[in-house]
A and B are shown apart, each in its own frame.
Chain A
Amino acid sequence: MDILASLLDGFGTSLLPLNIAVMIAGVTVGMLIGALPGLGSVNGVAILLPLTFLVPPTSAMIFMAALYYGCMYGDAIASILLGIPGASSAVATTFDGRPMAMSGKAGVALTASAIASFTGGTVSIVLFTVLAPTLADAALAFGPAEEFALVLLAFTTFVALGGQDRFKTVIAICLGLVLSTVGLDMISGQPRLIFGDLPGFYHGISFLVLAIGIYGIGEMLNTIESTRNKVAMVQPRMTLGTVRETLREMRGSIGTLSQGSVLGFFVGTLPAAGATTASLMAYGVAKMTSRHPERFGKGEINGIVAPESANNAASTGSFLPMLTLGIPGSATTALLLGGMVLWGLQPGPMLFIEQPEFTWGLISSLYVSNVFAVIANLAFIPLFCYALRVPFTILAAVIFVLCVVGGYAPSSDMHDVWLMLGFGLAGFVLCRLDYPLAPMVLSMVLGPIMENALRQSLIAGQGTPSLFLERPIALTFILIAVLLFTLPAVKMALANRRPPAPALAEEKA
């Protein structure tokens, strides 16, 4: 009752004309920023933060939250249309989004992603409203040991269900892990793998440089090579009929939607995990529970629904540690936290008590901006689809320019552009040799989190892995991870014992 009253008060704030105006501006700008490969919510928030001095703090925060939301919607657009994830949280969306777009169903894929994002966001805000005070303390129970176990689990859900050549998957993961160790070691401060003394390697290799290189440049080379003279043309259509068609195709997706949304919210509330982990786990779980796992990766609609609902749910969830504890759950919320300090608010456990108008105004605004975001997104889809009708010869040049800009913008360092081109070539070669690239990109994102958490746990356990055994949550996660990892081997062993099955098992392996 108390919560409901506060929420209604909050709507009183968020539905003021000024706040509605900043929400619309926020989601629109955010979506455009998100749609550009290489620019994600972090860049958007960082660039626009200074603009927010023009309005009062609550409106400023509502604008920033709307921008963050819009970016999360927009990220999917680049993933689906170009196959380049705009942010690490949208990597999983490329797995099925790209194949769908290639087979002419870009409109359906984009609509499905918009609807999934909306559902994920909304479910998450409802959970947030109800559970915020309770969950804040629960999230604190997540220490380095739990973080490590969770990331390990996310990794295995994805890899164990990957379906590609296992040996090559392992090699790709190892490559990604090696790349993730480049730069200064967080714990000892020593530089690692900097190739002599190349200053560009000190800040490590950014995920974006690798992703844009592989998915942008590499994929472009691949398309040029495989199509030769006959240019592959995608003819996406987008009418109201597409929305109806999508809804029809999504009829079987309600289970996936709710799984993704709830999973996304809870993973998002954990301070270190975030939207990338959530979207991967959701994809893995969706594939595991699907009646047609073989369709994943080839343009299955649930392969878009799962990660998109999860990453939007997670981005809402990441507001929770920020608002209740003053601890950022992601790079973007860290910037927002900086913004709050800047607007004269003191983030921390007292915020809810001292500034109810601000906190509830913000929470209620999430409901409203989510509605605006889905409307804006659906309205923009025809425009984005139109871009795909451009002949590939022209599109390739545009993608190349976007890639170079996207590689240069975040660090303003030419070093990253050269590196990106190198990754593009390497990605092309690896792709030709049938190495799966997604595990490599993902291990680069998750590698550093895993490494730090593992080392912190081992230090805390004085060099022994005792922490993992003593803590029930961590132990459970690790056991599930081990189980998932060995599952294919067990299945194979069982299949060998029963002669009629092997044909199928081999096909899958």
Chain B
Amino acid sequence: MRRDFLKGAVLGAVLLALPGLAHAAEWKPQRPVEMVIMAGQGGGADRLARAIQTMIQKNDLSNMPFLPVNKGGGSGAEALRYLKDKAGDPHVIMATLNSYYTTPLLTPIGVDIAEFVPVARLAVDDFVLWVNADSDIKTLDQYVAAVKKQGRGFKMGGTGTNQEDSLVTAMVERAFKVQHTYVPFQGGGEVAKALLGNHVQASVNNPSEAMQFYKAGKVRPLAVFSEKRLPELPDVPTMRELGHELVYTMQRSFVLPPGTPKEVQAYYVDLFRKVDQHPEWVKYAQNMSLTRDFLAGPELQEAFLRERQQHQDLLATMTASAAN
């Protein structure tokens, strides 16, 4: 009797524990996943996040749909704060860009990105210096001359103050000893529109933001801020080729709220590994001239913290030169 009871108890305990174990090993979303985008509609980050959402959905990579939500306010501060407040919620994921480093450094919103749980970096995006195709400026030298001639009056359009576009602009200003009037817009799409309408004279849009207008012959690329020439713009020189050490790229990654359990993180890492290998993503990256560069796990967190330090230094030199 007693042995039977014990047997039954052990069996019962095992049976009870099994689904729990299975659950721990294979976490799956129980409801639609909210995909927070740290930028406004129409920009590079937005397009990428929405494209990935489609791929996940179309190819059934996840059992639940991903719903993109833009929270681009205050250079992404809105999204960062939202993610922090969603600590432990396994159904929220955030698409980030480089403002992931800069915004918490500059905005008092109580966010430390070291607390967030990294998922994966999918790609690195590039920056290109663009002018309107109607403009007389055809080379970088002509550009620098034009900016110098107009004094502070030359208008550069970009995303929010202290976001990537303004950092690249500051780097250009430092390298060529010129000054622009920097006009901030909500997202890269708005910037592209302002350049087309001649409301600003130049932009540093990502290739994906301006490629359609380039193909339609409406904007002209002058130089690329990458290590190598872009396959989609083979005739456009890099800044380095032109003799200027100006290299800046943008990471495209996904992160989870603080306190996300390991098994949840594992699920998303696995999901994005599938995305990375998917032919549709490979094609998308090619079309948008993104460099695929998959990174996950502790290496990604290290890369995040390292790049945050680099941005901190960059911001420090910027404020120092602004003070002079």
- Chain A contact residues, CB within 8 Å of chain B: 46, 50, 53, 140-144, 183-191, 197, 199, 202-204, 271, 325-328, 331, 334, 337-338, 341-343, 346-350, 452, 456, 459-460, 462
Measured CB to CB, the closest approach of chain B to A207, in angstroms, equals: 15
User: B58: which A residues are within 8 A, CB to CB?
Assistant: 53, 342
CA distance A271 to B41 in the complex (A): 13
User: B185: which A residues are within 8 A, CB to CB?
Assistant: 456
Once the chains bind, are A328 and B42 in contact (CB under 8 Å)? yes
User: B262: which A residues are within 8 A, CB to CB?
Assistant: none
CA distance A137 to B109 in the complex (A): 40
Once the chains bind, are B77 and A456 in contact (CB under 8 Å)? no
Once the chains bind, are A199 and B81 in contact (CB under 8 Å)? yes
Once the chains bind, are A348 and B73 in contact (CB under 8 Å)? no
State whether the Cβ of B82 lies closer than 8 Å to any Cβ in chain A: yes
Chain A binder among B63-71, B167-175, B238-246, B297-305: B63-71
State whether the Cβ of B181 lies closer than 8 Å to any Cβ in chain A: yes
Once the chains bind, are B181 and A462 in contact (CB under 8 Å)? yes
User: B162: which A residues are within 8 A, CB to CB?
Assistant: 189
Once the chains bind, are A191 and B161 in contact (CB under 8 Å)? no
Check A460/B199 contact, CB under 8 A, given A53-B58, A191-B74: yes
Once the chains bind, are A53 and B57 in contact (CB under 8 Å)? yes
Check A327/B82 contact, CB under 8 A, given A53-B58, A189-B162, A202-B109: no
Which residues between 39 and 74 of chain B lie within 8 Å of chain A, taking CB atoms? Answer: 41-42, 46-47, 50-51, 53-54, 57-58, 65, 67-68, 71, 73-74
CA distance A343 to B216 in the complex (A): 21
Chain A: CB-nearest residue to B216 = A349
The residue among A197, A325, A462 with the most chain B CB atoms within 10 A of its own CB is: A325
CA distance A327 to B213 in the complex (A): 11
Once the chains bind, are A456 and B184 in contact (CB under 8 Å)? yes
CA distance A325 to B199 in the complex (A): 16
User: A347: which B residues are within 8 A, CB to CB?
Assistant: 212
CA distance A341 to B54 in the complex (A): 8
Check A190/B51 contact, CB under 8 A, given A144-B199, A327-B189, A334-B42: no
CA distance A50 to B57 in the complex (A): 8
State whether the Cβ of B310 lies closer than 8 Å to any Cβ in chain A: no
Which residues between 214 and 269 of chain B lie within 8 Å of chain A, taking CB atoms? Answer: 215-216, 218
Known: A143-B194, A189-B106. 15 other contacts (CB 8 A): A50-B67, A140-B193, A142-B197, A144-B194, A186-B74, A190-B107, A191-B77, A191-B109, A203-B71, A326-B212, A328-B41, A338-B46, A342-B51, A348-B215, A349-B212
Once the chains bind, are A140 and B197 in contact (CB under 8 Å)? yes
Once the chains bind, are B200 and A186 in contact (CB under 8 Å)? no
User: B54: which A residues are within 8 A, CB to CB?
Assistant: 341-343
5 contacts between A and B (CB under 8 A): A191-B74, A202-B82, A327-B192, A343-B54, A348-B215
User: B279: which A residues are within 8 A, CB to CB?
Assistant: none
Once the chains bind, are A350 and B212 in contact (CB under 8 Å)? yes
Once the chains bind, are A143 and B197 in contact (CB under 8 Å)? yes
Which residues between 113 and 166 of chain B lie within 8 Å of chain A, taking CB atoms? Answer: 152-153, 155, 160-162
User: A203: which B residues are within 8 A, CB to CB?
Assistant: 71, 73, 78, 82
CA distance A50 to B110 in the complex (A): 35
Render B61-104 as a binary contact track against A, CB cut-off 8 A, 1 for contact. Answer: 00001011001011101100110010000000000000000010
Check A186/B50 contact, CB under 8 A, given A141-B197, A197-B110, A199-B81: no
Render B172-211 as a binary contact track against A, CB cut-off 8 A, 1 for contact. Answer: 0000000001111110010011101101100000000000
Once the chains bind, are B193 and A202 in contact (CB under 8 Å)? no
State whether the Cβ of B19 lies closer than 8 Å to any Cβ in chain A: no
- Chain B contact residues, CB within 8 Å of chain A: 41-42, 46-47, 50-51, 53-54, 57-58, 65, 67-68, 71, 73-75, 77-78, 81-82, 85, 103, 106-110, 152-153, 155, 160-162, 181-186, 189, 192-194, 196-197, 199-200, 212-213, 215-216, 218, 287
User: B161: which A residues are within 8 A, CB to CB?
Assistant: 187-189
CA distance A350 to B68 in the complex (A): 26
Once the chains bind, are A459 and B182 in contact (CB under 8 Å)? yes
Measured CB to CB, the closest approach of chain A to B162, in angstroms, equals: 7
CA distance A460 to B198 in the complex (A): 12
CA distance A347 to B209 in the complex (A): 11
Once the chains bind, are A184 and B74 in contact (CB under 8 Å)? yes
Chain B: CB-nearest residue to A138 = B197
CA distance A197 to B197 in the complex (A): 39
Once the chains bind, are A187 and B184 in contact (CB under 8 Å)? yes
Once the chains bind, are B199 and A143 in contact (CB under 8 Å)? yes
Measured CB to CB, the closest approach of chain B to A52, in angstroms, equals: 10
User: A141: which B residues are within 8 A, CB to CB?
Assistant: 197
Measured CB to CB, the closest approach of chain B to A460, in angstroms, equals: 5
Once the chains bind, are B68 and A189 in contact (CB under 8 Å)? no
User: A328: which B residues are within 8 A, CB to CB?
Assistant: 41-42, 189
Check A202/B160 contact, CB under 8 A, given A143-B197, A349-B213: no
CA distance A190 to B107 in the complex (A): 6
User: B106: which A residues are within 8 A, CB to CB?
Assistant: 189
User: A184: which B residues are within 8 A, CB to CB?
Assistant: 73-74, 77-78, 107
Measured CB to CB, the closest approach of chain A to B80, in angstroms, equals: 9
Measured CB to CB, the closest approach of chain A to B187, in angstroms, equals: 10
Measured CB to CB, the closest approach of chain B to A346, in angstroms, equals: 6
Q: Which of B73, B108, B183, B196 contacts A460 (CB 8 A)?
A: B183
The residue among A141, A186, A189 with the most chain B CB atoms within 10 A of its own CB is: A189
Closest 9 CB pairs of A and B: A348-B212, A184-B74, A143-B199, A140-B197, A342-B54, A189-B74, A349-B216, A334-B41, A184-B73
Chain B: CB-nearest residue to A190 = B107
The residue among B53, B58, B85, B197 with the most chain A CB atoms within 10 A of its own CB is: B197
Chain A: CB-nearest residue to B218 = A349
CA distance A350 to B287 in the complex (A): 14
Once the chains bind, are B85 and A199 in contact (CB under 8 Å)? yes
The residue among A142, A184, A271, A460 with the most chain B CB atoms within 10 A of its own CB is: A184
User: A342: which B residues are within 8 A, CB to CB?
Assistant: 50-51, 53-54, 57-58
Check A327/B197 contact, CB under 8 A, given A189-B75, A460-B183: no
CA distance A328 to B153 in the complex (A): 29
CA distance A326 to B155 in the complex (A): 23
Chain B: CB-nearest residue to A452 = B186
CA distance A326 to B200 in the complex (A): 19
CA distance A105 to B120 in the complex (A): 59
Once the chains bind, are B107 and A338 in contact (CB under 8 Å)? no
Check A189/B189 contact, CB under 8 A, given A341-B50, A456-B184: no
Measured CB to CB, the closest approach of chain B to A95, in angstroms, equals: 31
Measured CB to CB, the closest approach of chain A to B45, in angstroms, equals: 12
CA distance A202 to B75 in the complex (A): 12
Measured CB to CB, the closest approach of chain B to A130, in angstroms, equals: 22
User: A142: which B residues are within 8 A, CB to CB?
Assistant: 197
User: B41: which A residues are within 8 A, CB to CB?
Assistant: 328, 331, 334, 337-338
Q: Which of A325, A326, A338 contacts B50 (CB 8 A)?
A: A338
CA distance A452 to B185 in the complex (A): 8
